[in-house]
Structure 1
Amino acid sequence: MDPHGFDSLGNPIGGLVFGKDNQFEQWTEFLLPNEFCIRACYNGPDNWKECNHIYDLMACRWNMPGDYSPGFDSCEGDKVTHPMGEYRLWNGTNYFWKQGDTPIPPPAPPAKVRNCQSFALS
């Protein structure tokens, strides 16, 4: 799910994400039978990269690496060092992986998190 969709009307159409004090223009979400993840990015010039939603087939663990043990965590997090699909090469240039290219690169390191609240499954 994301704010654009194939027709630029949203996926789902009209889907919105609100935070405490604002509406997020960019967000990405994955719903799987045994996983759920969402990233909402504060409005700014690079928010489209930080909440990129072109890697649908890669799902949660590649797009948003982190702790996927049972339960639900709500955390504050730092910015990721590189947006999903963007890699810094040894020569200092950036490489942008496209879904479908092989080999598939590993996920980027997860961002540091703090102020986490854990919720048990019931």
Structure 2
Amino acid sequence: MNSEELYKKAMELESKGEHKSAISAHKEIVNKSNDPRHFIAFGVCLQKCGHWQQSIEVLEKGIALKPHYCEGDARLFLAKALFKSGKKGLAIKQWQHVSKMQPEYPSYESVQNEAKKMLAQNA
């Protein structure tokens, strides 16, 4: 199975709530791929199972691969993982960064608004 087929399989497993099985599929994907989408999706899946530290590592790699690919969304996911792992200061830096970004597809201003909301609640 190629990485796109595995990606579809992982997303299908997630949609069924089978997150642990999806994690296995995502691991296989990122071992074959350098597509930031795959790393970001894997990071989000890890969060659904409470694997915050692993999520940080995967999301950072996804962001580094292609910094402008859904960067605001990816950084929000990263901030959540940082916050949940007790790294509030680093989470705040991510929210600050996102709050100053220009709106982009697909989320437009919702990303910046979410970052500002999180800053107001946690700063």
TM over 0.5: no
| Structure of larger gyration radius | 1
Higher RCO, Cα 8 Å, sep 6+: 1
TM-score range, shorter chain: under 0.3
Normalised by the size of structure 2, how large is the TM-score? 0.24
Greater helix percent: which structure? 2
